[in-house]
Amino acid sequence: MDTWAPIADIAAAVNDGKTTASENVEKALQNIEDKAEFKAIISLTADRARKRAKQIDEHVKSGKPAGRLAGVPFIAKDNFLTFGGETTAASNILKGFNAPYQSTAVENLEAEGAICVAKANLDAFAHGSSTENSDFFTTLNPHDKTRVPGGSSGGSAAAVVLGMAPFALGSDTGGSIRLPASFTGCVGYKPTYGLVSRSGVVAMASSLDCIGPFARTVSDAAIVLDVMSGKDPLDSTTIERSKNSYTDLELDVEGKTIGIIKEYMGEGLEPEVRKLIDAGVEKLKNAGAVIKEVSLPSLPLALAVYYIICPAEVSSNLSRYDGQRFGYSDLDAKTLEESYEMSREKGFGREAKRRIMIGTYVLSSGYYDAYYKKAQTVRTKLINEFSAAFKEVDFLLGPTAPSTAFKIGENVDDPLKMYLIDIMTVAANLVGVPSISVPCGMVEGLPVGLQLMAAQTCDRELLSLAKAFEELNV
């Protein structure tokens, strides 16, 4: 199977007339077909992709450049609203849904000539860490078909690693980009909260949701981020982007201070994963980085905070699926009340129901203060600890996950055990800081990801360090 050139080179070749967007789209569709057994893809947007490719090729033929991502195919997680096919969020309740508009992230990519060719599998509504909660099927890990690719954006991660497209889009509410990047061996980037618009992405937990890219290299992830980011009137939580390009990366790590997160390096971390992280730290140290150990004492509370705030916001966001305006509706219902209950009963899977119930509980009168308000206050404590840490160090470092990819079925009967897989990723979402998972080596044929974080809005600096690490780790 053909692999892909760096994204900037693919676009340059299209703009120079050396290759065509149509050839790239056909190559992506062929690669998707060749790797269908991994079940990374829910649906193709082939007709629209071919049409757009033709337009781009005609545009180039007429002598005009077609953008920074001219003719670059990509795959969107199926919770991004896109034209050219259904958007399901891997849920039965949205099966058959045809988006009336596209997500801003996809619009921004298309404006620079990128072409969406397919929609990737996920845990339904992005609730999960393995894609096993998809209402349709489980995606297989590209390195071992008996293992999960991580989640919730497992289809997007697998698609990139399998070479289906040069990049893919994911969403990250508690680790849903970084965890699958770690489990499959690609780069996964969660930007600063608000840097990329969520307009047109199926909402999960709005104070945590972030949009970001999967790619094979940090440079590829950076160019995608650069095109997607910025203020959007359709998402009032978006923030100003940096005036400098996110592709303008500074590779010198000399004198940069990196804090190793003490709480992530102890109990629960597999020894072989730890060895690789330690080796990665050593490389950064040898390149001139100043390494310190940093303690964030409230980190062991982060998962508990997350599993109050997240379901609370989920229960609110999923109330819109009422069977009346879009999505699955049980037409056997006799009354409106029955229509709500029956549509939601059949349309939602087990995990969506579980989270709606937990969320309803922690928000209900009498428990609101004890759970929801308490969690949001401990969140403040965590934010304060991160702020203090970033006065001491430029970056934080740890593993992305405590282990490599687990077996399909291993954790499905124990929701709490499944939740614990996110233990090292949720803090970045609670605090709103950017975080990246970069490949750091393999343990028994399975990839391990190294996680880096920086202070809010230091996305360019974080991508710079990640790229420097990538080059040191070759």
- CA-closest candidate to residue 434, choices 243, 177, 227, 217: 177
Out of 292, 380, 388, 407, which residue is the one contacting other proteins (CB under 8 A)? Answer: 380
415 contacts other proteins (rule: CB under 8 A): yes
Out of 307, 390, 406, 469, which residue is the one contacting other proteins (CB under 8 A)? Answer: 307
Geometric angle at alpha carbon 247, from 129 and 167, rounded to 5°: 40
The CA distance from 254 to 247, in Å, is 20
97 contacts other proteins (rule: CB under 8 A): yes
Q: Which of 39, 77, 119, 256 is catalytic?
A: 77
Residue range at the interface with other proteins (CB under 8 A); choices 5-13, 22-30, 51-59, 187-195: 187-195
In angstroms, what is the minimal distance from the CB of 341 to other proteins?
A: 4
357 contacts other proteins (rule: CB under 8 A): yes
Out of 301, 412, 442, 443, which residue is the one contacting other proteins (CB under 8 A)? Answer: 301
In angstroms, what is the minimal distance from the CB of 376 to other proteins?
A: 3
Q: What are phi and psi of 270, to 5 degrees?
A: -60, 135
* Size of interface with other proteins, in residues (CB under 8 A): 72
Other CB atoms within a 10 A radius of the CB of residue 195 amount to: 26
Binding mask 420-439 for other proteins (x = CB under 8 A): ----------xxx-------
Q: Which is nearer to other proteins, 55 or 360 (CB)?
A: 360
Q: Which of 103, 152, 182, 339 is catalytic?
A: 152
Angle between helix 104-111 and helix 218-228 axes, rounded to 10 deg:
100
236 contacts other proteins (rule: CB under 8 A): yes
Q: Which amino acid is at 361?
A: Y
Give 58-111 as a 3 state SS string: HHHHCCCCCCCCCCCEEEEECCECCCCCCCCCCCHHHCCCCCCCCCHHHHHHHH
Q: Contacts with other proteins in 137-176 (CB under 8 A)?
A: none
In angstroms, what is the minimal distance from the CB of 440 to other proteins?
A: 27
370 contacts other proteins (rule: CB under 8 A): yes
Q: Is 176 a catalytic residue?
A: yes
Q: Is 256 a catalytic residue?
A: no
Out of 100, 255, 271, 445, which residue is the one contacting other proteins (CB under 8 A)? Answer: 100
Binding mask 334-353 for other proteins (x = CB under 8 A): xxxxxxxxx-xx--x-x--x
Residues 6+ apart with CB under 8 A from 414: none
Q: Contacts with other proteins in 204-233 (CB under 8 A)?
A: 207, 233
Residues 6+ apart with CB under 8 A from 394: 256, 257, 258, 454, 458, 461, 465
Q: Are strands 435-443 and 446-454 parallel, antiparallel or unpaired?
A: antiparallel
- Determine contact, residues 87/122, Cβ cutoff 8 Å: no
Q: Which of 22, 103, 156, 176 is catalytic?
A: 176
Out of 287, 290, 291, 333, which residue is the one contacting other proteins (CB under 8 A)? Answer: 333
Six-digit token string for 94? 């949205």
454 contacts other proteins (rule: CB under 8 A): no
Q: Is 343 a catalytic residue?
A: no
In angstroms, what is the minimal distance from the CB of 309 to other proteins?
A: 9
Q: Which is nearer to other proteins, 87 or 217 (CB)?
A: 87
- Determine contact, residues 439/143, Cβ cutoff 8 Å: no
154 three-class SS:
helix
Out of 146, 286, 295, 377, which residue is the one contacting other proteins (CB under 8 A)? Answer: 377
326 three-class SS:
coil
The tokens 């082939």 sit on which residue?
A: 46
305 contacts other proteins (rule: CB under 8 A): yes
**Active site positions, annotated:** 77, 152, 176
